[in-house]
Amino acid sequence: MGSVPPELSLDFRPTFVPKTISSFLKEVSLIGNVSDKVSILDAFVKRLEEEMRKIDAFKRELPLCMILLNDAIVALKEESVQCMSRNVEPVLEEFIPLKNKKGSNQSEEDGVLVTNKKEKDSNNSSNCNNNKDKKNWMSSVQLWNTDDDDNCSIDRKLDTKQRNIGDSTQGCKNRGGVTACMPFKADLGFAKTARKQRRCWSPELHCRFVNALQQLGGSQVATPKQIRELMQVDGLTNDEVKSHLQKYRLNTRRLSPSTTSPANQSVVVLRGGLWMSQDQHEESSKGSSSQSDSPQGPLLLATNTRGNSIPGVQSMEDDEDAKSKSNSWKGHIHKPGKDDCIESIASMNFADI
DNA sequence: TACGCAATAT
DNA sequence: AATATTGCGT
Q: Is the CB of A195 under 7 A from strand C?
A: yes
Q: What is the mean pLDDT of residues A220-238?
A: 92
Highest mean pLDDT among A99-108, A146-155, A186-195, A308-317: A186-195
Residues β-bridged to residue A302: A268
Mean pLDDT, rounded, for A106-123:
35
pLDDT beyond 70 at A185: no
Of the pLDDT bands very low, low, confident and very high (cuts 50, 70, 90), residue A186 is very low
Q: What angle, rounded to 10 degrees, do the helices at A238-255 and A203-216 form? A: 80
Nearest residue: Cα versus C1' of B10: A198
Give exposure, A333-344, as e/b (b: 16+ Cβ within 10 Å): bbebeeebebeb
CA to C1' distance (Å), from A242 to C3: 13
Taking the C-alpha atoms of residue A208 and residue A216, their distance in angstroms, rounded to an integer, is 12
Q: Would you state the pLDDT for residue A59?
A: 67
Question: Which of A130-134, A159-163, A182-186, A251-255 reaches the highest mean pLDDT?
Answer: A251-255
* Distance, Å, A268 CA → B10 C1': 35
Per the prediction, chain A carries an average pLDDT of 54
CA distance A290 to A258: 31
Between CA A183 and CA A126 the distance in angstroms is 9
**Is strand C within 7 Å of residue A254 (CB)?**
no
Using the CB atoms, write b or e for A46-61: b if 16+ within 10 Å: ebbbebbeebeebbbb
Tell me how crowded residue A220 is: count the other CB atoms within 10 A of its CB.
Answer: 15
Across A137-141, A159-163, A203-207, A270-274, the highest mean pLDDT is recorded for A203-207
The 10s digit of each residue's pLDDT in A30-74 is 877 788 888 888 888 888 887 777 777 666 666 777 778 888 888
From the alpha carbon of A333, which nucleotide's C1' atom is closest? C3
Query: DSSP labels for A262-327?
Result: ----SEEEEETTEEEEHHHHHHHHHH--SS--STTSS-EEEE-THHHHSSS----S--TTHHHHHH
Q: Identify the residue whose Cα has the smallest distance to the C1' of C4.
A: A198
- Separation in Å: B8 C1' and A60 CA: 27
As to burial, measured by CB atoms within 10 angstroms (0-12 exposed, 13-18 middle, 19+ buried), residue A299 is middle
Predicted pLDDT at A243: 95
- pLDDT at position A210: 92
Half-sphere exposure of A57 (CA within 13 A, CB side): 10
- Rounded distance in angstroms from the CA atom of residue A173 to the C1' atom of nucleotide C2: 35
Alpha-carbon Rg for chain A, nearest whole angstrom, is: 27
| Percent of the residues in chain A that have a pLDDT greater than 90, as a whole number | 10
In this structure, how many other beta carbons lie within 10 angstroms of the beta carbon of residue A223?
13
Task: Give CA–CA dist A345/A166, Å, rounded.
Answer: 24
Protein residue at shortest CA distance from C1' of B8: A195
Output the distance from A43 CA to C9 C1' rounded to whole Å. 65
Q: Provide, in whole angstroms, the distance separating residue A247's CA from nucleotide B7's C1'.
A: 14
